[in-house]
Structures are given as structure tokens and as C-alpha cells.
Chains A and B, each alone.
Chain A
Amino acid sequence: AQRVTQPEKLLSVFKGAPVELKCNYSYSGSPELFWYVQYSRQRLQLLLRHISRESIKGFTADLNKGETSFHLKKPFAQEEDSAMYYCAPPRSNYQLIWGAGTKLIIKP
């Protein structure tokens, strides 16, 4: 069965520190992977997609097919990065499998 795992429910880092949110997936095809973000009181929105390299707010993610991972990284965290982050690879019917999410808290 296709799965996605975000092992950290909660991640807390200090402002200015590097951030890495982990995502591991199982998918038999060539994956088009997404990261979506939900800021407090805002709508769910795309943060980054693998195939187009679209990204906002300085985040990057590298697809590692060997490890089947798509970890999200940012070199210097900002307080406004505090949010809920979801990794979402596709299923075979093209719909998304949503990871459980990681709540990121940036401490001042």
C-alpha cells in the first residue's frame, strides 16, 4: 500500500537555526511530491512541489529516490515559519496521500 510518513509530530527550533522536516514515502511510480503548509488561521497552501521546483519562503526539498525521502529544509528558520507542514505524495489514482503533519514551532 502507498504510504507517507512524517515521523515528527512536533518540531521546535530556535530562530536562525536550520530546519529539516522529514518525509518518507512509498510509491511505485515516479513521484510528484508536494509540501503543503497551514499557517494559523490561514488556508492550506502549496509550499513546494518537486517537479516544478516551485518554492516559497526559502524552503527546499530534495527527492532521494534511494531512501524514498523528500525532506523539507530551510537554512535559517524565521518566526513566521511556525505552522503545520504536510508532505503529500500522490496515489496511483493521482490523488494525494497526506502525511500526518509536523507542527513546526520557531522559538524567538
Chain B
Amino acid sequence: DTEVTQTPKHLVMGMTNKKSLKCEQHMGHRAMYWYKQKAKKPPELMFVYSYEKLSINESVPSRFSPECPNSSLLNLHLHALQPEDSALYLCASSREPSTDTQYFGPGTRLTVL
């Protein structure tokens, strides 16, 4: 399996809901990433996991909570989001947590009402 998969493809949630985004890769990559991408903008890095440990948090609000249960799986837990959090959330992985090629998932399109 040489792809990064993300579920769900689309998510609509209210500001009081709790939901989770899931990302999976089976390429043996040791770094995994969450990005947020607004329309017609480049991806913005949110979190980096390196060997299943959180190594970078780009000052992301606490209403976003990442989790890496094992080396293949990455979750992003969402709680009390704001409408401005609506965006495409991308997961990526790379072989090593360095300047290595990143492989992206298709993204989850999140809409916060």
C-alpha cells in the first residue's frame, strides 16, 4: 500500500460537536503531518509527529488535538470549532522527519456551521 488515506472525505459539524479526522499510511513512514489548507492558499503546517511523538505544534489552538496511536495512524480530534476553521485538512507522511518527500492524503473537507 503506497498511499496515505484519510477519512472522512467530507465532514460538517456544529460548533459544539466533537469529531475526529483519521489518517493512515502503511509505507513504514516515521513522520506524519497535519496541514490546514484554505481555498487557493498553500498548506499551513499544524502538527508534526516524529516516531509517534509530537515534535512540532505550530501554535495551533487547543480545540485541535492530535493523536498518534501507532506508527501507521494519525488522528485529529476536533472540539468547539469555529466557522473560520472550515478548510481542507491534509495529512501527509514522510520516510523520516527531515527534508524528505512528503506523501499527501486526499484531505478531509471540513465545514463548521
Is B42 in contact with A46, judged by CB distance below 8 angstroms? no
Is B98 in contact with A44, judged by CB distance below 8 angstroms? no
Q: How far is the CB of B5 from chain A (nearest CB, A)?
A: 10
1/0 contact trace for B80-110 toward A, CB 8 Å? 0000000000101000011101111111000
Is A43 in contact with B42, judged by CB distance below 8 angstroms? no
Closest to B97 in A: A94
- Measured in the bound complex, the distance between the Cα atoms of B102 and A96 in whole Å is 10
Closest to B58 in A: A95
Q: How far is the CB of A7 from chain B (nearest CB, A)?
A: 14
Which secondary structure dominates chain A's binding surface? loop
Find residues 10-45 in chain B having any chain A CB closer than 8 Å to their own CB. Answer: 40-45
Which residues of A sit under 8 angstroms from B74, Cβ to Cβ? none
B113 at the interface (CB under 8 A from A): no
Which secondary structure dominates chain B's binding surface? loop
Is A32 in contact with B106, judged by CB distance below 8 angstroms? no
How many of A's residues come within 8 Å of B, CB to CB? 20
Among B40, B42, B43, B102, residue most surrounded by chain A Cβ atoms (within 10 Å): B42
Is A98 in contact with B99, judged by CB distance below 8 angstroms? no
- 21 A-B contacts, Cβ less than 8 Å apart? A32-B99, A42-B106, A43-B104, A43-B106, A43-B107, A44-B43, A44-B90, A45-B104, A46-B102, A54-B101, A86-B43, A93-B56, A94-B97, A94-B98, A94-B99, A96-B45, A96-B99, A98-B42, A98-B44, A99-B42, A101-B40
Residues of A within 8 A of B (CB): 32, 34, 42-46, 49, 54, 86, 90, 93-96, 98-101, 103
